[in-house]
Amino acid sequence: MTIIVDGKINIRILKLEEIKSALEKMGEQLFRGEQIFEWLWKKNAQSFEEMTNLSKSLRDKLNMSYFIDNIELKDQQISLDKTIKCAFKINGGEIIEGVLIPTKSRTTACISSQAGCSLACKFCATGRLKLIRNLSPGEIFDQVVYLKNEAEKIYNKTLNNIVYMGMGEPLLNYKNMLRSIELICSKDGLGMSPKRITVSTAGIAKMIKKLGDDLVKFNLALSLHAANDKKRSLIMEINNSNNLNSLRESLKYFYEKTKSRITFEYIIFKNFNDTIEDAEELAKFARCVPCKINIIEYNSIDEGNFKQADSKKVDDFANYLKQKNMIVNIRRSRGKDIDAACGQLANKNKV
């Protein structure tokens, strides 16, 4: 996260009381803090010059000491199915991604928490970028604002859901991820309910337990993709240090603390994890906590080794789970005609 640039502090890392303290040292009235905070989060100001209810002298003082870490649209693609994929440039020139997914029943923003990723999952284009840095709360927040505005402008739809399923591992940017959700849910921000937010993790057991200790109100999803250790470790290196047994225990702990149902995300790959035996293993593992299962069709990446499973196998897989009284949804592949897989657009817009 970029905190200081050219000697200036990123003002959006400051909480309201910290802004008021800075104003007091400037000899300014404290109520100006609320005005600045509103401009930063409710009005999404891109510069101090936009803060027209502040005096010019105060705006000059702010410009001398602080900067606003806004994101900038670099590229945008719109699919035939109306999915919108955006590449955003952040401070320092790195590229991150955000996706708007409209359906008949809901409109979802899929956002990134890091530039790049350190986990290098074999099926994910983001893993090829490596981890560059954590995103700030403001950089995460801005993705939601932009996609929310696009939903309203292009489709006349309200943003219903937010999923932290874009680039990066949210639990490895824990503090900034929590702060961004606090701002999204705050009356001073977007005022969304935390129950409309889902944070997806590749599976870091100690951090899942920390979510439970922090009594978070948002939803948790685990990117599982295989329910035996040997197969999961082949595609997700994180499983070597966070195996299924440790994840099972952490999920139980999280549920005991929060009473929040877990979502298991399962990308289904052709001739890898698409058999009834795989479904049986998934059903057995998923019974550890109250849950639902999202079976996800795979969006292939360039030069990747994995392919989308046959439609009949996907249906048979889901039907087996339903027969075991599991709650199952099939998430059909979206944005097939654009760079839909996570990390593809960022790879093509490297600077």
Angle between helices 174-185 and 137-155 (to 10 degrees): 40
Cα dihedral angle (95, 101, 106, 110), rounded to 10 degrees?
Answer: -30
- Residues whose CB is less than 8 angstroms from the CB of residue 284 and which lie 6 or more positions away in sequence, other chains included: 227
Q: Measured between alpha carbons, how far is 129 from 115 in angstroms, rounded to an integer?
A: 8
Please identify which of the residues 28, 86, 94, 97 carries the catalytic annotation. Answer: 97
What does the block give as tokens for 135?
């995103």
Q: Measured between alpha carbons, how far is 44 from 188 in angstroms, rounded to an integer?
A: 11
Q: Measured between alpha carbons, how far is 18 from 14 in angstroms, rounded to an integer?
A: 6
Category of 221 on φ-ψ map: left (φ > 0), alpha (ψ -120 to 50) or beta: beta
Number of Cβ atoms within 10 Å of the Cβ of 346: 27
Task: Tell me, yes or no, if 288 is annotated catalytic.
Answer: no
Task: Tell me, yes or no, if 72 is annotated catalytic.
Answer: no
Question: How many residues in the chain?
Answer: 351
Residues designated catalytic: 97, 342
